[in-house]
């Protein structure tokens, strides 16, 4: 069959992935040139403006709403050169997609022991996904993160701990949220896995001190040290060069931001309600309980503590999927670009998931996930463009429903990983090819 011969050739798949992005890129250039409605993402203008400030020896933070590391602006510095160079960043982001896809393919082949065809099929969830291609060719940097995070996963699976530490530190410097992966990687890197032969479980109850020594393996210490040095080193350099605005815009802004503009987060309506001043009483009156201030608790407990502890040893890549899913679902701000953060882990999880095994579950989950967004978007459109006050119940209800759908999917992911066979070093237990 044409399809199977297509997925049989890595060249064909990667050529198609590159072609897809080239077409989107060219289309975007044309639309930008001839239409006042731009294909290019607003954020891309933020990055390129910031790069232009760099080229004039100014701070990238001179550009309003630039809330990223200066490295991003440096990475796309060539966009300040004339002519087609303006699209350099999009080409870079699209190339990042392809590299990510290639690493996915390698991980699936090596660590999930898939046939080439099967690995290419699952890598195509990313490579041939029009949503992924659109996001990167419109000039959003979220896809670039895929390179770092996927490389991190690969480095960990390949036991290249110093490299993994460096990538983890770099990814956290770049986008903060990958810090949740630290716990799952540390937890996953146990002696059982990293020692050449499996140690026996101690018969006698070990003392806390010996447990601690047992936990603090050289690998774990190395990962912590390398990632901390990278993270702190990058921050120190950026702080020395760009000063307070770097810390303010790259980090503190994300910690204190309360995004009032409606978004997918279940907290959104509550945040709007509780941060707005009550009528007749001058400036902001704080709400009675401010429960929304505790929103980080379930989010971080789940994504950084409980999920890694419960399932990281079974399957690292699926655990990272579950962590990201929990982080995004329970976040105080949630826009569709964040969905890319977990999409990059789907190729590792889906092959053995209930979502694919049980067609009805999978289709129902996908349909609900899409419908949740459609319902929300419809309510959002009524608000933004028709001026209808859909905050309550419409937007609130749709964001709660979408949240519940996501929680349901996350539950399925978690159960799937838990129900897996007790993990051995994945590379050492090749699964039968199906």
Site membership for other proteins, residue 352 (CB under 8 A): yes
Site membership for other proteins, residue 427 (CB under 8 A): no
For residues 230 and 269, which CB has a smaller minimum distance to other proteins in the complex?
269
Give the span between the Cα atoms of 216 and 213, in whole angstroms. 5
Residues 240-269, mask of contacts with other proteins (x by CB under 8 A): -------------------xxx----xx-x
DSSP secondary structure of 64-107: TT--S-HHHHHHTGGGGSSGGGGGHHHHHHHHHHHHHHHHHHHH
For residues 198 and 431, which CB has a smaller minimum distance to other proteins in the complex?
431
Q: Binding segment for other proteins among 52-60, 164-172, 197-205, 297-305 (CB under 8 A)?
A: 297-305
For residues 45 and 102, which CB has a smaller minimum distance to other proteins in the complex?
45
Peptide bond into 106 cis (omega under 30): no
CB of 400 to other proteins, least distance (A): 5
Give the orientation angle of helix 142-157 with respect to helix 88-111, to 10 degrees.
30
**Residue carrying the six token digits 């630039």:** 66
With H, G, I as helix, E, B as strand and everything else as coil, classify residue 50.
Answer: helix
For residues 53 and 267, which CB has a smaller minimum distance to other proteins in the complex?
267
With H, G, I as helix, E, B as strand and everything else as coil, classify residue 416.
Answer: helix
Is residue 160 within 8 Å of residue 194, measured between CB atoms? no
Question: In the chain, how long is the greatest CA-to-CA distance?
Answer: 75
CA distance between the termini of the chain: 19
Question: From the list 130, 196, 205, 422, which residue makes contact with other proteins (rule: CB under 8 A)?
Answer: 422
For residues 20 and 405, which CB has a smaller minimum distance to other proteins in the complex?
405
DSSP secondary structure of 149-194: HHHHHHHHHTT-HHHHHHHHHHHHHHHSGGGHHHHHHHHH--HHHH
Site membership for other proteins, residue 218 (CB under 8 A): no
Phi, psi (5° rounding) for residue 311? -130, -5
CB of 269 to other proteins, least distance (A): 5
Phi, psi (5° rounding) for residue 330? -95, 10
For residues 11 and 433, which CB has a smaller minimum distance to other proteins in the complex?
433
Give the span between the Cα atoms of 58 and 79, in whole angstroms. 16
Residues 97-136, mask of contacts with other proteins (x by CB under 8 A): ---------------------x------------------
Question: From the list 95, 310, 377, 427, which residue makes contact with other proteins (rule: CB under 8 A)?
Answer: 310
CB of 264 to other proteins, least distance (A): 13
Neighbours of 195 (CB within 10 A): 12
Site membership for other proteins, residue 350 (CB under 8 A): no
Site membership for other proteins, residue 284 (CB under 8 A): yes
Site membership for other proteins, residue 45 (CB under 8 A): yes
CB of 391 to other proteins, least distance (A): 4
Supply 1's token pair.
């069959």
Question: From the list 58, 276, 336, 424, which residue makes contact with other proteins (rule: CB under 8 A)?
Answer: 276
CB of 262 to other proteins, least distance (A): 9
CB of 375 to other proteins, least distance (A): 16
Helices (H), 385-429: 396-418
Q: Binding segment for other proteins among 27-35, 139-147, 220-228, 366-374 (CB under 8 A)?
A: 27-35
For residues 233 and 408, which CB has a smaller minimum distance to other proteins in the complex?
408
For residues 246 and 403, which CB has a smaller minimum distance to other proteins in the complex?
403
In the region spanning residues 49 to 88, those forming contacts with other proteins, defined by CB under 8 A, are 49, 64-65
Give the span between the Cα atoms of 64 and 76, in whole angstroms. 18
In the region spanning residues 383 to 402, those forming contacts with other proteins, defined by CB under 8 A, are 383-393, 396, 400
Question: From the list 38, 52, 106, 109, which residue makes contact with other proteins (rule: CB under 8 A)?
Answer: 38
For residues 215 and 381, which CB has a smaller minimum distance to other proteins in the complex?
381
For residues 96 and 308, which CB has a smaller minimum distance to other proteins in the complex?
308
Site membership for other proteins, residue 197 (CB under 8 A): no
DSSP secondary structure of 313-374: TT-HHHHHHHHHHHHHHT-SS--GGGHHHHHTTHHHHGGGSHHHHSHHHHHHHHHHHHHHHH
Site membership for other proteins, residue 415 (CB under 8 A): yes
């Amino acid at each position: 069959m044409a399809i199977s011969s297509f997925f049989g050739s890595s060249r064909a798949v990667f050529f198609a992935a590159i072609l897809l992005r080239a077409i989107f890129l060219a289309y975007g250039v044309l639309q930008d040139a001839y239409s006042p409605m731009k294909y290019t993402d607003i954020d891309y203008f933020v990055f390129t403006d910031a790069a232009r400030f760099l080229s004039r020896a100014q701070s990238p933070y001179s550009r309003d709403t630039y809330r990223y590391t200066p490295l991003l602006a440096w990475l796309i510095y060539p966009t300040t050169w004339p002519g087609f160079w303006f699209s350099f960043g999009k080409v870079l982001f699209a190339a990042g997609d392809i590299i990510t896809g290639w690493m996915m393919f390698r991980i699936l082949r090596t660590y999930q022991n898939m046939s080439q065809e099967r690995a290419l099929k699952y890598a195509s969830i990313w490579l041939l996904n029009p949503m992924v291609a659109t996001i990167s060719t419109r000039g959003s940097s979220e896809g670039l993160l895929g390179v770092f995070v996927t490389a991190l996963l690969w480095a960990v699976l390949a036991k290249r701990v110093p490299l993994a530490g460096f990538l983890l530190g770099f990814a956290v410097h770049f986008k903060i949220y990958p810090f949740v992966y630290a716990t799952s990687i540390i937890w996953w890197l146990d002696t059982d896995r990293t020692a050449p032969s499996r140690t026996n479980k101690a018969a006698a109850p070990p003392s806390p001190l010996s447990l601690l020594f047992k936990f603090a393996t050289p690998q774990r210490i190395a990962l912590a040290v390398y990632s901390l040095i990278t993270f702190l080193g990058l921050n120190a350099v950026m702080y020395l060069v760009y000063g307070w605005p770097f810390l303010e815009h790259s980090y503190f802004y994300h910690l204190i931001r309360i995004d009032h503009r409606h978004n997918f987060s279940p907290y959104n309506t509550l945040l709007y309600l509780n941060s707005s001043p009550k009528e007749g009483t001058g400036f902001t009156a704080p709400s009675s309980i401010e429960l929304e201030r505790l929103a980080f608790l379930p989010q971080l407990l789940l994504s950084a503590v409980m999920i890694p502890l419960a399932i990281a040893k079974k399957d690292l890549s699926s655990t990272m999927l579950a962590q990201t899913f929990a982080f995004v679902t329970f976040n105080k701000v949630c826009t569709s670009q964040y969905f890319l953060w977990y999409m990059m882990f789907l190729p590792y999880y889906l092959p053995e998931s209930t979502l694919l095994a049980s067609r009805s579950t999978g289709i129902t989950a996908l349909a609900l996930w899409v419908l949740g967004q459609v319902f929300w978007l419809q309510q959002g459109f009524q608000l933004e463009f028709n001026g209808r006050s859909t905050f309550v119940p419409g937007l609130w209800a749709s964001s709660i429903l979408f949240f519940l759908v996501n929680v349901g999917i996350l539950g399925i992911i978690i159960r799937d990983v838990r129900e897996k066979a007790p993990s051995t070093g994945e590379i050492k237990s090749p699964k039968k090819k199906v």
